[in-house]
């Protein structure tokens, strides 16, 4: 630990913004750049690599773009060591190879930076890799749960690694209570999992004039607008929202849908979405904005009347707090931590996942309701990042102490 007694962290995750993917993992950076105001940290964001990767790039151009070995993002240093990542049946080896590919850099950082804690984000492969690095380097590690554990239940080779990583971590953080419940179902002790949700950036996200926002984005001045933001993967459910439009237009003939987002490592189904729009005759009603820089997103939210995300799964989706901070009510699905973020009907409506009629009815109801914008903005203020970060910093200070290091050596 440095002379001031504050721990130093290595934030360890594949999912972090970079020069080639500026919108990847913004939710991780937003959390940890605020921690960096209190604790020294560097980011190690390993880059998957395979000898025939140029062929993979032709099939999935957004999956593995070439990354620089090092970049500086403001005051934070970000490293991208490569690791062998074999597609297909060998994905169960990703955790070990990610750790092995990062080991040389981590040893260098151990000498030059003197870190105390490895802070992994996502359970697989990052959390599993952090366990290997902890064993080799003798430092405690934490894991932040940001996605469902249950998708690994039927994968025995993954499941065994994940269970050990959860048990041996000095602390497991969860961005939502629903994810903590999943960890408990896997047999993890209740006092081992701490919920620290994401927060709202109230300096960046705030209401803008609706007419000016629409003009800025090149949208029609008249009409009502649904807003949906996220990577264009199947999981986000943009196709489900599009499917409701033909019926909704019978009740709301001036309705439009705006989608902001681009391809991600999960995939890019923009072509399928555009084909769906064309087949439904909605070319003049659905607007694809592509990736929007974070500093411009408030204009997207402010241009709308209602935020809608029919997602298949989320941990704690920051887009809901961003929308609330811009005064938008929300309609979303009852999955993951969504009901924890959209915590009351003053903020928005929750519908069962996959229920087309319920989604359509909720959008119709929300468009007809008089929302209390002051209550929505108050919800965002109650979830300000400034509420979250002190708890997280205190946890790292405890973990980096003697107890945390004993836990690491035991692992």
Co-location of 124 and 268 in the same domain: no
Contact yes or no for 46/98 (Cβ under 8 A): yes
204 is a domain residue: no
What torsion do the CA atoms of 363, 365, 370, 376 make, to the nearest 10 degrees? -50
Q: What is the pLDDT of residue 12?
A: 98
3 is a domain residue: no
Q: Which residues 6+ apart lie within 8 Å of 73 measured at CB?
A: 17, 29, 43
Give me the CATH number covering residue 317: 3.40.50.2000
Co-location of 177 and 319 in the same domain: no
Structure token pair of residue 249: 């237009």
Co-location of 267 and 134 in the same domain: no
User: What secondary structure does DSSP assign to 118-152, as a single string?
Assistant: EEEESIIIIIHHHHHHHHHHT--EEEEE-S-SGGG
Q: Are strands 193-195 and 224-229 parallel, antiparallel or unpaired?
A: unpaired
Q: What letters, b where the CB count within 10 A reaches 16 and e where it falls short, cover 312-347?
A: bbbbbbbbbbbbbbbbbbbbbbebbbbbbbbeeeeb
200: helix, strand or coil: strand
129 is a domain residue: yes
Co-location of 135 and 48 in the same domain: yes
Q: What is the DSSP letter of 44?
A: E
Q: How far apart are CA 195 and CA 95, in angstroms?
A: 24
Q: What is the pLDDT of residue 407?
A: 42
Provide Rg for the chain, Cα atoms: 22
Co-location of 224 and 189 in the same domain: no
Structure token pair of residue 126: 């990052």
Q: How far apart are CA 309 and CA 263, in angstroms?
A: 17
Q: What is the DSSP letter of 115?
A: -
Q: What is the pLDDT of residue 93?
A: 95
Using 70 as the pLDDT threshold, list the residues of the chain that sit under it. Answer: 1-4, 52-64, 402-411
**Total of domains in the chain:** 2
Q: Which residues are 229's β-sheet partners? A: 260
Co-location of 56 and 82 in the same domain: yes
Q: What is the pLDDT of residue 3?
A: 58
Q: What string of H, E and C letters represents the secondary structure of 285-351? A: CEEEEECCCHHHHHHHHHCCCEEEECCCCCCCCHHHHHHHHCCCCEEEECCCCHHHHCCCCCCEEEE
Q: How far apart are CA 162 and CA 363, in angstroms?
A: 38
Beta strands in 14-156 (DSSP E): 40-44, 47-49, 70-73, 76-79, 82-84, 117-121, 141-145
359 is a domain residue: yes
Co-location of 177 and 220 in the same domain: no
299 is a domain residue: yes
Query: Is the overall model pTM greater than 0.75, yes or no?
Result: yes
Q: What is the pLDDT of residue 61?
A: 52
Co-location of 172 and 319 in the same domain: no
Q: How far apart are CA 117 and CA 42, in angstroms?
A: 11
276 burial level (CB within 10 Å; 0-12, 13-18, 19+): middle
Distances (CA, A) of 241 to 39, 225, 234, 314: 42, 12, 12, 16
Could you tell me the residue range of the domain that residue 282 belongs to? 210-382
Q: What is the pLDDT of residue 175?
A: 93
How many Å is the maximal CA-CA distance in the chain? 67
Contact yes or no for 198/30 (Cβ under 8 A): yes
Co-location of 191 and 216 in the same domain: no
Q: How far apart are CA 400 and CA 395, in angstroms?
A: 9
């Amino acid at each position: 630990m440095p002379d001031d007694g504050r721990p130093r962290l290595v934030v360890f995750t594949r999912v972090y913004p970079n020069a080639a993917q500026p919108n990847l993992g913004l939710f991780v950076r937003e959390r940890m750049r605020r921690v960096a105001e209190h604790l020294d940290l560097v980011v190690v964001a390993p880059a998957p690599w395979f000898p025939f990767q140029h062929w993979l790039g032709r099939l999935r151009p957004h999956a593995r773009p070439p990354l620089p070995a090092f970049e500086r993002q403001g005051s934070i240093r970000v490293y991208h060591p490569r690791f062998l990542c074999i597609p297909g049946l060998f994905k169960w080896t990703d955790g070990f190879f990610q750790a092995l590919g990062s080991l040389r850099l981590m040893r260098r950082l151990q000498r030059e930076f003197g870190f105390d804690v490895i802070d992994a984000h996502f359970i697989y492969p990052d959390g599993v890799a952090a366990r290997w690095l902890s064993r080799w380097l003798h430092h405690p590690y934490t894991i932040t749960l940001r996605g469902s554990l249950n998708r690994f239940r039927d994968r025995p080779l993954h499941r065994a690694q994940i269970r050990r990583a959860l048990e041996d971590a000095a602390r497991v953080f969860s961005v939502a209570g629903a994810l903590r419940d999943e960890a408990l179902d896997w047999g993890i002790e209740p006092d081992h999992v701490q919920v620290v949700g994401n927060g709202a950036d109230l300096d960046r996200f705030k209401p803008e004039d609706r007419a000016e926002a629409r003009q800025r984005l090149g949208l029609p001045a008249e009409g009502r607008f649904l807003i949906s933001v996220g990577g264009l993967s199947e999981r986000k459910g943009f196709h489900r929202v599009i499917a409701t439009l033909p019926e909704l237009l019978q009740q709301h003939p001036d309705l439009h849908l705006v989608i902001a987002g681009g391809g991600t490592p999960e995939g890019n189904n923009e072509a399928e979405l555009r084909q769906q729009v064309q087949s439904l005759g909605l070319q003049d009603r659905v607007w694809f904005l592509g990736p929007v820089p974070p500093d411009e997103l408030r204009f997207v939210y402010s241009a709308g009347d209602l935020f809608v995300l029919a997602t298949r799964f989320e941990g704690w989706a920051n887009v809901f707090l961003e929308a609330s901070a811009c005064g938008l009510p929300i309609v979303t699905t009852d999955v993951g931590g969504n009901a924890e973020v959209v915590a009351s009907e003053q903020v928005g409506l929750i519908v069962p996942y996959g229920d087309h009629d319920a989604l359509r009815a909720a959008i119709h109801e929300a468009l007809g309701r008089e929302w209390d914008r002051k209550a929505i903005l108050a919800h965002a203020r109650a979830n300000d990042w400034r509420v979250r970060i002190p708890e997280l910093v205190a946890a790292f200070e405890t973990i980096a102490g003697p107890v945390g290091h004993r836990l690491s050596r035991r692992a």
